[in-house]
Every structure is written in C-alpha cells, then in structure tokens.
Structure 1
Amino acid sequence: MFEYVQWTCIRTFVNISLFVRRSSWVSPTTQPNRVKTYHSSRTNLFACRIFYPHDHNGKQIIPLVIRVHGGGFLLNNPAVDDPIARHLADRAQCVVISIDYSKAPQYKFPAAYEDVVEQILKIIDDPDLPLDRSRVILCGASAGGNLVLAAAQDPRLRAKIASVAAVYAVVDLVPKGKAKTATRPDPSVPDFMGGSYDGISGLLFDDANKPALTDVRISPTYFTSRDSLPPQVLLIGAEHDMFCHEAEAMADKLAGSERKADAEGGWQVPGVRWYKVRNEAHAFDQFQAKDPERERARSGAIDDMNSVIVDFLDEVLSPKTAKDVVPS
C-alpha cells in the first residue's frame, strides 16, 4: 500500500510541474493545436495532444507520428513530449499525436500496453484527422520506446505501421539491473537508473499473473522474425545508459546478416538504423546540466539526435505527395 501512495504523490507532483512548464504562458512556442480524449475502457488517462505543422492548412493529408512518453512506466504524461512533438511536426511535416497510458504500480501489466494499442487504433481510425494512413510511425523514448516497439508487433497493428523509432528504450527485461549496469563503458559516469531499476521493474507485474519476461509485449527484443516489426526501424541509444547495449543488440538482430559499416554515430542497413549518442546517459535530453560547458555539449547532443530522427522520418515518409481532403 505504501508504494501506491508514494507513487501517487510523486506522480501528482510531476503532473503539476508539467502543467506549469508546458503551459501557454511558460512555453508558448510548443503548444499543441488540439487536445482530444479518445473514449475507451480507461478513464484515468490524460488527453492526447495533437500537433500540426505550423503551416498546415487543416485539409492537407499528411503522415502521422504517434509519440509515447517515457517515465519508467510510473511517471509523466503526454505534455512532457511537447517540445519534441512540436519539433517533429514542423520539421517533418506530419501530424504528431502524444498519447498517455496507465501507470504502475496502480495499473499492472498489460494495462499500459493495452492502452497504447487501443489509442493507436482509435487515432488511426479517427475520420476527423487529416491523415495519410499508409504512413504511420510510432515514436517513443525510454518506457515509451519499449511500448512502441512492443505495440508495433501486435497483430492488431502490425499491418498499419510503416516504421518505428525508439530512443534509449528498455527492450529486454530478462537481465537484472546489475547485469545491465555492467555493460556500461565507464562506471564513473552517473547513472540514475542503475540503483532503482530492479525495484521499478518489480512494480510492473502482478505476482499472481506475471508473464514470461521474454513476452514481446514487455521485452520486444524477443521478436520471432524480422517481419514481426515494421519495415523501417530506428533505434537510438545513449553511450552511458544501462539500456544501450540491449538496444544495439536488438538492432543487430533486426539487421540479421546485413553487413554493418561502423561509423562514429552508429550504422545503417536497409530497414534498420542504429544511432549511438556519445558521452550521454539515460534521459540526457530531460535534465539540464549544471556546468555550462557540459550543458552546451548536452544541447548539441540533443540537436544531433533530433536531426537523426527527422532525417529518419524524411526518409521513411518520402515522397511527400500529400493531397487535399475534399470538403464535405
């Protein structure tokens, strides 16, 4: 019971902070164009935040990016992704919709997974949105990265998703935190996830109905074949993140026998791109550095990573031959 109260209090504080930080008076340039609730069996979710390109005419059919936020399956709401959602909408000329999901420990697996799948289906089928439904991309970070990689393998969605992009996602829940931490190249670099990982992962499941940890709904790296995931996949890791090694291993598995030419930022083969953010740890784009020089490096890494995501979207979504909706 203490865990439920503890995380409810923490979550409330985080949501209030996001309400202020993402408000129109504090962040006027990153506001969504619309906020919409898709009615479902869940009543505890924040509304979806919908972003159109700044020059969109309201009629043009354009691709869709569905964004799923991170937060360890415990925290945050769609507003946390407002800056990147606005950036992607304007730069990649697509509709970006940030969605929510039920949080542990109050809602155990598979609640978050089912929320994400259900909302994606409702968004794709929404007749009020000017969507090119042949070009749907899922994008998420951390826990959100896990959820989009898992949802993309769901039989209800597989044929509807063109590509998926996951940033510093946990993709393998089989290893314990100590084993994951041991894969980091420099133990001296702070890792706020290391000491809490096992405790957090333990909050996700009902012990009486705990699934196998190789279930792709929680460990998407255990996909059965390359066809289990969309034709185009982008995986991004942070060099000093305890999840980086497993994300790169998933990228290798997806690439199969394709020859990978290593480069400073990663590699790319047909259908799979791997990008490693050097000198950064998990969620580096969420927490400002205190040292000015370190903050400049962090900001540069964020810009580089966002450019990789936009380039990926441009490649996946090309050619951009949008057409207009015929007014009713």
Structure 2
Amino acid sequence: MREGGGLEIATILDEILSEGGYEIVNAFINSSPWARPGRHIVPRGGVIHWTGNIGRGANAWANRNYFDSLRDNYASAHTVGDDTTILAALPCLNEEVEMAYHVGAASYRTSYFGAYPNASTLGHEMCVNADGNFRESYKRAVWVMANWCFQFGWDADSAVMRHYDVTGKPCPLPFTDVVHDNRHCAALGFTEAQTAWIRDHLHIDGLLGEALWRAYKSDVADLTVILREGGLTMLQQLVQKMEELQARNSELENRFNQLEKALYLSQIPDWAADSVQCAVQKGLIDTPEGGSYDFYRTLTILHRNGTL
C-alpha cells in the first residue's frame, strides 16, 4: 500500500496478490510457417507488446485467432492477455518453449538477445480494446512477465524489454513518450480522437509513456522477488484458509439460526395459557406469541407460586 492525501491507495502489486495471481490458459495455435514454425528455443528474456487495436472486441481470443489465421504474414506471440483472460498461443511455460514471430526486424537496437531476438525471447501481447479494462490487462501483463522471470531465472531489470527497446518500433505505445507526440501518433494511423482516447484510458494511476514503462519494470521486478521467496504460495494458502474459515462460519451461523428457530414456539402451549393471560392482564408482556420454551416455563412457575 502507498499513501495518498492521507488515504491508503492499493498498488498494482497489492491487487495482483489479493487476487492470487491469474491462470494462463493453453490455447495453442496450429502449426504453420507464418505463426508457429515449431522451432524450440531457450529464452533469455521477455518482450512486452501491445496489440495496437483499440477497437471493441479486440480481446485475447480475437488476437489469438488472428495469429492462427495468418497465411501471408509472419506474426505471433507466446501469450495474449486482456482484462479477464491470459492465453498461451504457443508453448512457453515448460522446457518445450517454441519460437514466435513477435520481434523481427531488419536491424536491432540491442545485442542482448543475440542476432535474431525471436530465437531467444518470449513475447506477451497486452490487449487495449475499448470495451476492456486496461488496468486489468496491465496487471496480467505484469503477472506473465514475472512468472517468466521466475521460471527462467531472468533478471527483470535487464531481461525484460519493450518491443521499442529491441527494434525501435513504438510498442507498447502507452509505454513510450511517443504517445505524447500528436504527429507521430497520426503517422501510426490514429485519429486525433483515438489518440486522445489512448491518453485518457491507457494509463495507470496517471502514469503514461516512459513513466509507465518504469512502473511496469518495477512491478515485474517486485513480483518476481515475491515469487522467488514463495510469498505467493503463502498468500494462496492464507486465502484458502480464510475461505475455509468463512465457510465454517457460515455453517455455524446456519446451525445457530436453526437452533434459535427451534427454541421459539409458534403457538402458546396449552399448559402456559393461563399464565400468559395473567401476565398480559397485568401489563407485564404485550407480545405473548412467539416466545421460547424457557419463556413460557418461567411465566408458568411464577404464576403457579403466586409471584406473578
């Protein structure tokens, strides 16, 4: 948690941990020379992308299916995530990692991933569809990258890059300061209205451009540390224990309600009728029905010994 104006504000990491992380669903595309050539690789790092499609319906399944349909263009990514779902379009979470076509170019800005980065990196596509929730999509992008850092032993500071860092392509656009340049955004094909929408909606707590990229790297690094220290496993166990306690509490509450109902009688017992009538006449009670067995028993004893 961080403080803001005297209030505690939940951070991205708080939200991810409170939700126990996210499932990565295998939805492998078919083998093809355009998107899944079947080449096994040993990944040295991860590359974050955005789909660049802000249209409604451009979610994880739509992008996964786009890769699967390609017949004349090379493109794919290992995972695609929107605000509810993370899909693995290619194997990427075990020793059988396959190459995707996500970061190819005629030349590269870094030599960290070798001469052909596709052969040594994993790629995640972050959905930005208008009918989605960017914060949720962002959180899943953090989760995927931290899991890869944990699984493959990468250093998040050096092994996690943007598409922009590898080839110079402004991707993810919200993670680069190009997002603030109207002419550049227009050159990418966005109208003024679309550019304004991107700036208004594709930020995290007001962070956009390079500031958002630094925040993303920090979120990935911090979550990687937690995963390595087993913190998430402990959290998941705690959440499970809390759920068990809540279920037990609900069960006990139901049993108590049943017992309480059993104690109260819907009608006045015949043996207590005279005692109840006496109590009513003396103004001691005004609601004679619905009392418990002990209530009627006490009235009867008091009445019979002359106390009432």
- Give the TM-score normalised by the residue count of structure 1: 0.23
Task: Name the one with the larger helix percent.
Answer: 2
Task: Name the one with the larger strand percent.
Answer: 1
- Give the TM-score normalised by the residue count of structure 2: 0.24
